[in-house]
Amino acid sequence: MVETLSIQTSGPGLVNFTSQVAALVGQSGVSEGLCTIFVRHTSASLIIQENADPSVQDDLENFMRRLVPENDPLYAHTAEGPDDMPAHIRSALTQTSIGIPVTGGRLVLGTWQGIYLWEHRHRPHRRQVAVHIA
């Protein structure tokens, strides 16, 4: 089963979409297998992260901003704005695909784990995420 989720972002930050993926796994009828999630963009990424304390998300965003700043004079790719090249670097440093085991028809996630799309651009986007369950 392959489905595409459309995830709306409102600018930089993490969007939890665990429940949408869990619903697809439940609908798939797959009892034992693998759920592969892939973001179809080069300026956003995917992570599995703490889902109980939102300060974790803030800290991650603040750390990434310090690690990969905007307006670095070494960037040649600047035509799409000061946030574009840093977004590509941030995406390259994280991941665009995640595999999560499925057991008993459910995602095998830890108690405090959530699936997040990490938007790296300033303006809102509608991101496409492919979900393959087999």
Q: Which domains does the chain have, with CATH numbers?
A: 2-133 (2.60.120.460)
Q: Provide the 10 A C-beta neighbour count for residue 34.
A: 13
The two three-digit tokens of residue 32, written as one number: 């034992």
The pLDDT score that the predictor gives to residue 38 is 98
Q: Which residues is 114 bridged to in the sheet? A: 49
The two three-digit tokens of residue 113, written as one number: 């784990």
pTM equals: 0.96
Q: For residues 124 and 26, what is the distance between their CA atoms, to the nearest angstrom?
A: 29
The two three-digit tokens of residue 41, written as one number: 């963009």
The two three-digit tokens of residue 125, written as one number: 């986007």
Give per-residue pLDDT as tens, 7-53. 999 999 999 999 999 999 999 999 999 999 999 999 999 999 999 99
The two three-digit tokens of residue 103, written as one number: 């057991």
